Structure 1
């Protein structure tokens, strides 16, 4: 259920240039990086980098997702985040950023393939018969600016629910629920009508009957990026050497993952609460890069263009794609 070719080829709307404040630096620090990550199956190569290749880092789980990591980066609670492309870019593209420099920059690529977002409702919500039933409903999201929030607008754009005339909202209400567990509860008790979450993470709850699948939508971009706090960027845009070392360790973790798929399945099914069958199915859908350092600007441009079209970002406001990205491929 990917977006149409015409949507993917729509012109990119660039955001206006913003003065970037000088970043404070902590270049001399030898303390381990604090790395935020989502504790799902995608995190397996990160754990392998630490387990098998000596990645020196404190891994900080964020089950509520990318939006929470943005808050933590800006508060100085973590140094690096590994999360969803659309969440990072939406966070930097908004006007009136606080802090004014955005707090982080895109520095790396973690997953090359798109993400399949499952669209879910409550088990007994008989009035919701398909995606078309969701227009004007209440969308549950983890946080404003998270992937679950952004993809709601991408879905609305795909379905033709965004009015260019009156700029009306496609949904009656956006209900912020923070956690996946709260989202599942909310669609069953009526607080929200639907939510969007990664397919394999949702599947367990389809299988046990807790929630019901309505549909799916794929991101029209590679799904996971690595960002670094602006506090790690020194003079001449030089990145803290600990982040450069991180890229090498992640590359080793990914290579090991690809060469030890049975170990990956075992880790996912025992440490991350997925079934072995689902772990093996997921392996068929995901591709990690050989080199995590750097970001393809075409991906950033495409994401910004679609987020502008979907109404998540406003043309002429916020940070330009070029300024969001510190390390380019």
Structure 2
């Protein structure tokens, strides 16, 4: 049975979409999850998908979920090696002019456990705010988030810069800052049950995905082929696509995860109050990865 691969339809997903077009459903099918990482994790839990990619799902919610006891998935690979730049977004006519103005206000998030929530904690940590005073309102998807900052029910929300820039260009929202993740952007997760996602199928999937990632990452592809693909698929302006391509990096092997990604992310998440260190004062990294599929380097 083909793997059910959950993803979010955005420019990061381009190599996966190129892979899916060539595969034509033989080894995997795509399940779009427009609400983001929280929805990906929810669908893994509910047996609606076998693999979560954003593309892949965001590093921080995946790691914090496992650290806080989730058994619905384990990490099986890497996807994007560079930090994700999160825009801090407010309403067109709101009173907020800077990140500093948001202390003590209500942030819009897509779902609890999502990257939009975790990055609000990271922002609070960077700004010196008390993380236990953060307030949240769930707005499900990008349209709900935009509506909430414009009707005043939330002060701001956080989302990837280039994904939301068209809304700012159209005058629907305003950017008042940005916060890069303190970790690489994307990891790949899969359900640990071999009946849902067999190690053999995952290894083949990751090996082939690596070839598409490598092709997409090639200098000559970045010059023109990638630009045309993203322009046609997502409708972004060419100058935005070229600017994004200058900032993004990919792994040479999707079936490898640097151990320092886990340790450094857990350190930041602990400081932000998102995870609690076990009584042993040390996380066992083997609890986070499926060693049948992926290697830690």
TM-score, normalising length: structure 1 = 0.82
Q: What residue is the counterpart of 2:65 in the other structure?
A: 91
Report the alpha carbon displacement of residue 115 of structure 1 after superposing the two structures with TM: 0.3
Q: What residue is the counterpart of 2:126 in the other structure?
A: 158
Correspondence 1:41 to 2:30: no
Give SS of 2:116's match: helix
Give SS of 2:268's match: helix
Give SS of 2:123's match: helix
Q: What residue is the counterpart of 2:76 in the other structure?
A: 107
Q: 1:169 aligns with which of 132, 144, 147?
A: 132
Aligned 8 A contact 1:221 1:303 in 2: yes
Give SS of 1:169's match: helix
TM-score, normalising length: structure 2 = 0.90
Aligned 8 A contact 2:92 2:172 in 1: yes
Q: What residue is the counterpart of 2:151 in the other structure?
A: 189
How many Å separate the matches in 1 of 2:167 and 2:18? 27
Note the alpha carbon deviations across 1:199-249, whole angstroms, 9 max, x for none.
Answer: 001111111110001100111111100111011389xxx952111011111
How many Å separate the matches in 1 of 2:233 and 2:30? 15
Unpaired segments of 5 or more residues in structure 1?
1-30, 163-167
Note the alpha carbon deviations across 1:135-168, whole angstroms, 9 max, x for none.
Answer: 0001000010110010100000000002xxxxx6
Note the alpha carbon deviations across 1:66-93, whole angstroms, 9 max, x for none.
Answer: 1111111111110111110001112111
Q: 1:117 aligns with which of 77, 80, 86?
A: 86
How many Å separate the matches in 2 of 1:38 and 1:90? 20
Give SS of 1:63's match: coil
How many Å separate the matches in 2 of 1:179 and 1:248? 32
Unpaired segments of 5 or more residues in structure 2?
none
State the superposition RMSD in angstroms: 2.0
Report the alpha carbon displacement of residue 258 of structure 1 after superposing the two structures with TM: 2.6
Aligned 8 A contact 2:110 2:145 in 1: yes
Aligned 8 A contact 1:142 1:179 in 2: yes
Aligned 8 A contact 1:112 1:289 in 2: yes
Aligned 8 A contact 1:113 1:223 in 2: yes
Aligned 8 A contact 1:110 1:225 in 2: yes
Correspondence 1:60 to 2:31: yes
**Matched residues, number:** 284
User: Which segments of structure 1 move beyond 6 Å, counting only runs of 4 or more?
Assistant: none
Task: Give 1:217-236 correspondences, 5 Å limit.
Answer: 217-232=179-194
Q: What residue is the counterpart of 2:169 in the other structure?
A: 207
How many Å separate the matches in 2 of 1:232 and 1:91? 21
